[in-house]
Structure formats: structure tokens, C-alpha cells
Structure 1
Amino acid sequence: MLGSKSGFVSRVKEIAPEVTVTHRMIHRQALASRTFPRELQAISDNAIKIVNYVKSMPVNTRLFKQLCKDLDSEHQLLLFYTKVRWLSKGNVLNRVFELREELKMFLDMQDKEPIFFNDPLWKPRLAYSADIFDQLQGKDTTVIHFVDTLRAFVAKMKNWSRKVSSGNFAMFEKLCEVAEGREEETESCLQN
């Protein structure tokens, strides 16, 4: 289908021989996302485990949906994560962040409270991870737009690093929401 000898690539190169072909552009970024710091990777893994627990049984899904409905939550469903569509990881992290209190309550009712909910750094790290993935995603993203976004993101990282070292978290919306009044904890969570 994409073939360089008889597929799409060869036909494009007949018309525009100077074109550069990039195979699996997003796949490279998926591999890069696996180099997250260990602490942030654990947050992501824990969030996915929570989602899998709730979504694995239809009764859990219905109970969680009813709980969210009763609490007038903004969302009533969790998003399912698959490794094939790595961009869904950011959406999953965002939804878990938005429904974190409902999830804690649901897991308490199920007598399945994970230890990490009691960790004071779990919420700021979840917020930070969700913010990072927000920066790399968007609706109707094309490869060209994605490359531009990735370049801009790398450039922003230098600026963000400088600002975070001086205690300014304004560029991380969810982290600011969590960090209000807890600046020391948030700085230490990002440095660990």
C-alpha cells in the first residue's frame, strides 16, 4: 500500500522526486514516550490499571457511570487506552485527572483503593503528565502539524525548565490547579 517500489510512495516520487518520505512518524514519538522518567511512567501505568479495572467488567462500568451521574460530574465515562493508538494515552490521563475524585470514591466503595491515591505526589504527577500529553495532541492533527507541534514543544521545554526552576508553573494548567498552596511538594515531585 505504501510501497516504495509500486505503492503510494513510488507514485508520489514520479510526480515529485524531491519529496521526503517518513514512515511511521507517530510510531517514533510513541517510542520516545516510553522514555518518560520512571515516576511519571508509574503514574501513567497506574492510571491505565485503574481504567482497565473499571472498564473490564460491564457492571463496574455501569456503576461508575451512575456514580458520576449522581455526582453531576463533567464526564461519566472513562476512555480506554490501547498501545496501538498511543495518542489515546493523553486522553486517558486527562480523563483520569478530571475524574480522580470520582475514581477514588468508586474504588473506596469497591474496597480496592490503590496505595498511590494516598501518595501526596500522585496527583501533581498525574496533572503534569496530563499537561505534557495535552501539549502533544490535538484534534484533526496531520503529520505536518504534528512535526511543527513537536518542534515547538521541544523549544518550549527549555523555557519551561527555566520557569519551573524559579517556581513558576503557569504553563501547566492542571498542575497549577493541584499545586495551589503546595509549591514545595510540587517542585519536589517534578525534580524526583
Structure 2
Amino acid sequence: MTSFCGTNEDVLTLSYEVSELIAKKLKPYDNGGWVKEILVKAAEKLAPKSVHLYQRLSLSRPTVCDRIKEMGQDIEDNLKKRAEKYENFSVCLDETTDIKNTAQDLNNRIFKQVLKDFDADYDDLLYFCAVRWTSCGNMLARFHSLLPKIVEFRNLEKCLLTVLEDENWLCDLGFMVDITKHLNDLNVQLQGPDQLLHSMYSKIKCFTSMLDLWYNQLKANDCTHFPTLKKHNPTFCTQYALECSSLLESFNARFTDIKSKKLELDIFSIPFIVTPASAPSESHQTHETTKR
């Protein structure tokens, strides 16, 4: 690093240039303070006579934010001045890549108004990206609830999606809503502090028993425990029965190690149902030992 024999104006210019780099690299504004520390440390080693200039460099988070806003406003003003001199110009924007998301925001506002006009139970869809499993379940349930309004909205926009009215697809969606809710309920039961292993395993066993029940019911086209699926009057439910069977196999495989400890869990939780002969030999205690 060469000696930075600059003026106050040079320091100010450097502040803008660093802020511009932070914006271009999409970095957090508070990175400015970190960049300043690096510059000062480098100056101490390579250009000690210029350290005081780097120390005066203003790169705090509010400053970087203000610098970026000023530069953005300056670009906008310059574009407007140049545009005033144009005789003709054309605009070609891809609405899916518009950085301000203008087209999507407009559609969202229109959709909200449609829901309001139809007195829908919800005023918007839920959007989740890389979120907890339980949130995905909420999103699915709300999407299904708003499906008729979504179809009407798409028709108003003259953007038809035939899959939204396909009976087979609707049945698949209904099953997904219901099975996700069942899994969410189990998830919630297994959460929280002070839960003992035997209690959690008991809940898992209960759920696997329900999976077996659902398999047999769905195989017989009985949708008692799948109310959302039932609304779509599926002709056959065999594929959904197979999904429950697949889930059951997954649960059994995942919890094989815990199953191998069933006897120890029973001794801990319900010892009176365990016979002495089946208990591990090290747990036996003779009458004489007890007396001593």
C-alpha cells in the first residue's frame, strides 16, 4: 500500500467508493466498520504516515446507508434528465426479474382485493421459504382453503392453470394437506422441555398404529381421518394407502434402535408388567440382599 497523501475530499470520495462496493456485492451495511478496521490495520503496516486519514474514514452503518441512498438518487436524477432529451425510447422488462418485484406486488394487491370482495376467510396466501415443517403445513392448508378464489383470480387475469381444477391433482393435494397435519400434530407432541424418552416413544408407537389403521381404511376407500381428501370424493384411495404404508415402513426403520430398548423402557415406565424372568439379570435383587 502506497502512502495515501489525500485531502478531506479524498477521504469522503473513498467513503462513497467503499459504500458502492458494499452495495454491488450485496453485503450488509454494517460491513463498512469491518472494512475500515482492515484499512486502518493495513495502513499501520504499509503506510503509517497515512493512518490518520484512514481513521477519519466514515463507514458506520448509517453512513453507508446514506451514501448508497444518495448514489441511488443521483443515478435516478441523471436518468430522468437524460430521458427528457429522448425523442423515442422503448421499454422491455421481464416481470419475473424486475428487481423491485413490481409486477408480482401488483398481482398480490389485486389478489388481496379479490379475496376481500369474496369475503374469504383469509386475506392473503402464506409464503414460506426454507422454513419449519409445521409452517409448510399451515401454508398447504391455507392454499387449499383459498383454491377456489385462486382459480377465480387466475381466470380474471386470463392466466388459466388447468391443473388447479384437475380432480386427481385436487385429491393428491387434499391427501397432502391431511397427512401433513397428522405429521405436524406428532411433531408438536414431541416438542417441549422435560419430555422423557419412554413418553416420546409411546407417542411414536401410537402414531405408527394410526398409520396402520389409515392404511387399511384408505385401502377400503374410507377417508374418515382425511377430511380434506374426503371433500374431493376420490374414486380410489389405494395410492394414498400405499403412502401411509411407506410412512409406516420409514418410521419402523428409523426407530429400530429404540425398539431394541423396549424392555428397558418398560422397566422404567411400567415396571409391574415386566416379569422377573424377562428382566435383565443385573436388575434382579434377592430377598436376602434386600434384607441386608
TM more than 0.5: yes
* Residues 136 and 150 in structure 1, CA contact (< 8 A), matched pair in contact too: no
Aligned pair partner of 2:136 in 75, 80, 89? 89
Matches within 5 A, 1:54-69: 57-69=104-116
Structure 1 residue aligned with 2:176: 129
Please, what is the CA RMSD of the aligned residues? Answer: 2.9
Which one-letter code corresponds to 1:163 in the other structure? Q
Which one-letter code corresponds to 1:90 in the other structure? G
Aligned pair partner of 1:187 in 231, 237, 242? 237
- Aligned in 2, Cα 1:173/1:94: closer, same or farther, shift over 3 Å? same
Structure 1 SS opposite 2:122:
coil
Which one-letter code corresponds to 2:225 in the other structure? M
Structure 2 residue aligned with 1:120: 167
- Aligned in 2, Cα 1:85/1:146: closer, same or farther, shift over 3 Å? farther
Structure scoring higher RCO (CA < 8 A, sep ≥ 6) equals 1
Aligned pair partner of 1:161 in 215, 221, 224? 215
Structure 1 residue aligned with 2:206: 152
Mapped to 1, the partners of 2:142 and 2:115 lie a distance apart of 12
Same amino acid, percent of matched pairs? 23
Structure 2 residue aligned with 1:11: none
The gaps in structure 1 that reach 5 residues or longer are: 1-55
Mapped to 1, the partners of 2:220 and 2:132 lie a distance apart of 36
Name the larger-Rg structure. Answer: 2
- Aligned in 2, Cα 1:166/1:109: closer, same or farther, shift over 3 Å? same
Mapped to 2, the partners of 1:124 and 1:65 lie a distance apart of 26
Q: What is the number of equivalent residue pairs in this alignment?
A: 133
Mapped to 2, the partners of 1:120 and 1:102 lie a distance apart of 17
Matches within 5 A, 1:5-44: none
Mapped to 1, the partners of 2:172 and 2:123 lie a distance apart of 23
Deviations 1:33-74 (A, max 9, x none): xxxxxxxxxxxxxxxxxxxxxxx8221221111111111111
Structure 2 SS opposite 1:168:
coil
Mapped to 1, the partners of 2:129 and 2:140 lie a distance apart of 13
The gaps in structure 2 that reach 5 residues or longer are: 1-102, 243-292
Mapped to 2, the partners of 1:58 and 1:72 lie a distance apart of 21
Mapped to 2, the partners of 1:84 and 1:67 lie a distance apart of 28
Report the TM-score when normalising by structure 2.
0.40
Mapped to 1, the partners of 2:160 and 2:209 lie a distance apart of 39
* Residues 151 and 164 in structure 2, CA contact (< 8 A), matched pair in contact too: yes
Report the TM-score when normalising by structure 1.
0.59
Which one-letter code corresponds to 1:161 in the other structure? Y
- Aligned in 2, Cα 1:162/1:106: closer, same or farther, shift over 3 Å? same
Mapped to 1, the partners of 2:210 and 2:220 lie a distance apart of 16
